[in-house]
Structure 1
Amino acid sequence: MAPDVAFNAGRGPDALIRSWKCLSVWFQDVELELEGLKKAGRSSLVACTTTSVTITERTLLNVFPHLSLVGDREIVEKLLNQRLVVRGSMQFEWDAAYCRVTSVITQANLLTPMLRLLGGVEVTSYVFEKALISPDFQWRLTTGK
């Protein structure tokens, strides 16, 4: 892996490690399953994935802190202890000259399972509005406004 590997919005191996650390600490029972691999161009490989996570009190406090602050029990009860199955992909760019990965781009559809769980666009929008994670399963550096 290149020392300045691009990982989503960050750079370097630390950005990649930080993302996986947040996922594994703030969600419970994280499982990443490889569904398939396909070549995309001369230097790209795309891995289709399914990520499964459980929402816990820790998740709510750290990822969706605004829900706890306003005491929105109805939403919290819908989310607590629920298992989410999130479909996504990881694209790896390879530098043949240096024989290393130069870019890793992940994307996943967190919106669809949250919509199913919460039952509506407005409430789902509210849940993501100030969350530390986006509907495409990307960590935000700061909460939304």
Structure 2
Amino acid sequence: MKIQNKAVSLEDEVVQLREEVERLEKKRYTIHSTVPTKITALKVVVEYFRLFQNGFHPVASVSDLCNATTALRDDPGYVQTQFFQAVTVPDVLFNAGYGVEAALEDWRLVSLYHANQTINLERVERGVGNTVVAYMNGVFTITEMMLHSAFPDLESDSEGRKWLGLAEKLLDKQFVVPSMVCYQFDEANRVVSGRYEANMLAPLLELLPSAEDVSLVLSSPINIHHWSKDGG
């Protein structure tokens, strides 16, 4: 009986080992399929913007994705997360703070409030030292859902009128926001830090003549820097 139980136990261990090997192989394949074989800092940046061109819209939480097994490989954010982890150091610094999870959560929030955003990479240049600077345009249209999220008092009878005029000026307007990111790489061409800046002031001034209205928009979730303005 003991021999039989031991045999069953060994069979279970073999099955578990096979599953673990399969999981690691699939994970290795996923990462290798998104990270350039001959990795260079410039290639990393170009591939990064290819993968994140339409934002980051995971179904699972960022925490779960960062610790994911292949069980989450069908999640829209799985490959993006695998790539991001592969090309950054664990304590990478972005505007939102330190760590992969903080950076990806910032991506998730920006993408949530700019659901129709497209990021068009314009050019990539080598900067001072081991840095790479990427220049892009973020293109998005202000939707009714975005306005209700940014200005919840639109639903209030007492405060709604205060925001209604501003909302009418913004609704269905397309914004082209010039932006740049400066990436710092280490000797292994992994991203150590990334600092991004988005110039929303210029397109807003073209649309809104009132400095007060511009200030209200810049302090709302419509502003790309809203979620990470205190980070980094």
Instruction: State the Cα deviation string for residues 80-127 of structure 1 (Å, max 9, x = none).
Output: 12110000101110011x441110111010111112111222221233
TM-score w.r.t. the length of structure 2 is: 0.54
Structure (1 or 2) with the greater strand fraction: 1
The aligned residue for residue 104 of structure 1 is 194
Counterpart pick for 1:6 among 93, 99, 114: 93
**1:61 equivalent in alignment to 2:152:** no
Question: Percent of pairs identical after alignment?
Answer: 33
> Residues of 1 paired with 2:212 and 2:228: CA distance?
24
C-alpha contact 2:139 2:175 (8 A) present in aligned 1: yes
Instruction: State the Cα deviation string for residues 23-80 of structure 1 (Å, max 9, x = none).
Output: 2221232110111111111210000110001111221232344566521211111111
Calculate the aligned-residue CA RMSD, in Å: 2.1
The aligned residue for residue 83 of structure 1 is 174
TM-score w.r.t. the length of structure 1 is: 0.83
Q: How does 1:21-40 map to 2 (within 5 A)?
A: 21-40=108-127
Structure (1 or 2) with the greater helix fraction: 2
Change (3 A) 1:120 1:51: same
> Residues of 2 paired with 1:48 and 1:105: CA distance?
12
SS at match of 1:15: helix
**1:122 equivalent in alignment to 2:209:** no
**1:95 equivalent in alignment to 2:95:** no
List structure 1 runs of 4+ shifted beyond 6 angstroms.
Answer: none
C-alpha contact 2:134 2:182 (8 A) present in aligned 1: yes
Change (3 A) 1:63 1:19: farther
Change (3 A) 1:67 1:85: farther
C-alpha contact 1:37 1:48 (8 A) present in aligned 2: yes
Q: Structure 2 stretches of 5 or more lacking a match?
A: 1-87
After the TM superposition, which of the residue ranges 67-76 and 3-12 deviates more from structure 2? Answer: 67-76
What code does the residue aligned with 2:181 have? M
Change (3 A) 1:65 1:93: farther
What code does the residue aligned with 1:77 have? E
| TM-aligned CA deviation for residue 22 of structure 1 | 1.8
Q: How many residues align?
A: 138
SS at match of 2:166: helix
C-alpha contact 1:4 1:11 (8 A) present in aligned 2: yes
The aligned residue for residue 32 of structure 2 is none
Q: Structure 1 stretches of 5 or more lacking a match?
A: none
C-alpha contact 1:6 1:102 (8 A) present in aligned 2: yes
After the TM superposition, which of the residue ranges 50-59 and 117-126 deviates more from structure 2? Answer: 117-126
After the TM superposition, which of the residue ranges 9-18 and 64-73 deviates more from structure 2? Answer: 64-73
